[in-house]
Amino acid sequence: MLRLIRGLATAAKPKLQDIVIVGGGPAGLSLLLALKNTPSTSHLGCTLVEGLSLDGVRKFAQDPPENYTNRVVSLTPKSVDFMNNNLGSWDYIQTDRVKFYDNMIVYDSQDSEARIEFDTSVVPGAGAIAAMTEVLNIQGSLLEKIEALNEELEPEHRANIVEKARVVDIKQGEGDLDWPVVTLDNGESYQTRLLVGADGQNSPVRKYARIESRGWPYNRFGVVGTLKLQYEDWRSVAWQRFLTTGPLAILPLTGDNATFVWSSTPELADTLLKVDETIFPHLINAALVLEEVDLNYIYKALKANPNDQLMIEEIQWRLSRIPEEELEEKYPVPIAEIVSGSRARFPLKLLHADTYTAPRVALVGDAAHTVHPLAGQGLNMGQTDVAALVETIETGIARGQDIGSTLTLDYYTAKAWPSNHVLMGVCDKLHKIFSTDFTPIVMLRGFGFKLINMFGSIKDMMIKAVSGNP
């Protein structure tokens, strides 16, 4: 701390920039790239600051690991389009590690009749529902495209990335220039016309701007991991089973690979992370098929002894009572293995900033909104933010306005906030409806499922919403 203060005291005058972006996650890198790849904004002086090293991202881009990493997201066709046409980064995506799927099956643990099947292969012109991609693949493609553009741009227009440097202080400038001054822990400082927070859930930029955010923790964790299936599935289906503890999603990857997101209570999440790797695949197979009473019994036994090998037989016996044709037809391909060391958990919460802008400040991505992963929208919403913010900045420039002024920035909140709010409301309500075993709601949701399946047009509407298709 002392060293830091001395460092600050001797720091040189802050470097002036048009835009400083805090955060090198998917949202921050996308914004930096969008600014550099758009003719009317490419001349802006842009610096991105990331607290961590981006070496892992570069390594992934050059020499990807044999197995899928565990942070995988589903990209909507709209996001893929944006990466193709606006960012130009899709050319740098490792497409052999992207899995498009056109079918989604949602079913319920408490009502075997309740099942919705979204099959876009039967909706003319709908295309794929979404593409499963590793977050590292996305970040890697963005970084590679930024580096390629830097080769072409004049030195003074190049994107500047400062990594392994945390923002430790943000203050309003004094004297003639009231632009925010951002101080890094490496002693550098920047004074910027527009400061963008792409700095995640706990956004220091949001705090600096005193933008309130509202929401609540779900008291749930999302447990994730990489799976090997017993055999490659020729169908491209994203499966989601609603359990009383939260939804369990099995999402397809290329070959015999898959990934899962299991929303669970803190107690169950604890068990899921401790269960021995030889037992875990069986536990997932159980959770995809068996009834809640069976599951509660299994959870309890594994909580008491996470290495209780007898549970493997126990689960297999319970599964063997279900006819094989039914298993093949109605459920995912059984899981054979969990990739060693791939399990992790994330606390789930809902958080929405009251606004995305303040004088000389804008928020994008998780800094502006954090959602339940159940509809796979978080990263996609960040892409929509980036598109809206760049459009806002372009308009400001075209009108000869200051890009950091509220006059320019208000359009961004107006454009991005309401649709995100609607989407977040839908995800939140789905979570609430589906994580209960209160009988009237169970009946209602069974009814809802059947109803939705009957009415093709409602289904098409939902599928279009989930896939981000207009």
Nearer to ligand NAG, 231 or 447 (CB): 231
Q: Out of ligand FAD, ligand NAG, none, which partner does residue 373 contact, by CB within 5 to 8 A per kind?
A: ligand FAD
115 near ligand NAG, rule: CB under 6 A: no
Q: Give dist(CA 394, CA 435) in Å, integer.
A: 43
Q: Give dist(CA 223, CA 343) in Å, integer.
A: 7
Nearer to ligand FAD, 249 or 315 (CB): 249
Q: What is the dihedral of CA 340, 66, 87, 467, to 10 degrees?
A: -50
* Rg, the chain, Cα only: 24
**Contact map string, positions 296 to 335, toward ligand NAG, x by CB under 6 A:** ----------------------------------------
197 near ligand FAD, rule: CB under 6 A: no
Two tokens at 344? Answer: 């992790």
Q: According to CB under 6 A, which residues from 181 to 240 bind ligand NAG?
A: 228, 232
Q: Out of ligand NAG, ligand FAD, none, which partner does residue 346 contact, by CB within 5 to 8 A per kind?
A: ligand FAD
Q: With contact defined as beta carbons under 8 Å apart, do 458 and 452 qualify?
A: yes
Instruction: Kindly tell me which residue out of 21, 73, 182, 302 binds ligand FAD, with binding defined by CB under 6 A.
Output: 73
Place of tokens 């409301």: 425
CB of 337 to ligand NAG, least distance (A): 5
Q: According to CB under 6 A, which residues from 86 to 105 bind ligand NAG?
A: 97
CB of 163 to ligand FAD, least distance (A): 9
Overall size of the chain counted in residues: 470
The CA distances from residue 274 to 10, 22, 114, 172, in Å, are 50, 35, 31, 47
Q: Which of 249, 243, 209 is nearest to 364 (CA)?
A: 209
Q: According to CB under 6 A, which residues from 354 to 393 bind ligand FAD?
A: 365-366, 373, 376-380, 382
Strands 361-363 and 357-358, how do they pair?
A: antiparallel
How remote is the C-alpha of 257 from its chain's centroid?
20
Non-local CB neighbours of 186 within 8 Å, separated by 6+ positions: 162, 164, 165
**Contact map string, positions 47 to 86, toward ligand NAG, x by CB under 6 A:** -------------------xxx------------------
Number of residues that bind ligand FAD (CB under 6 A): 33
Angle at 303 between CA 298 and CA 305, to 5 degrees: 95
Angle at 83 between CA 80 and CA 88, to 5 degrees: 140
Instruction: Kindly tell me which residue out of 33, 49, 335, 353 binds ligand FAD, with binding defined by CB under 6 A.
Output: 49
Residues at the interface with ligand NAG (CB under 6 A): 66-68, 97, 228, 232, 254-257, 337, 339-340
Residues at the interface with ligand FAD (CB under 6 A): 22-28, 49-52, 73-74, 135, 166-167, 198-200, 204, 222, 224, 261, 346, 365-366, 373, 376-380, 382
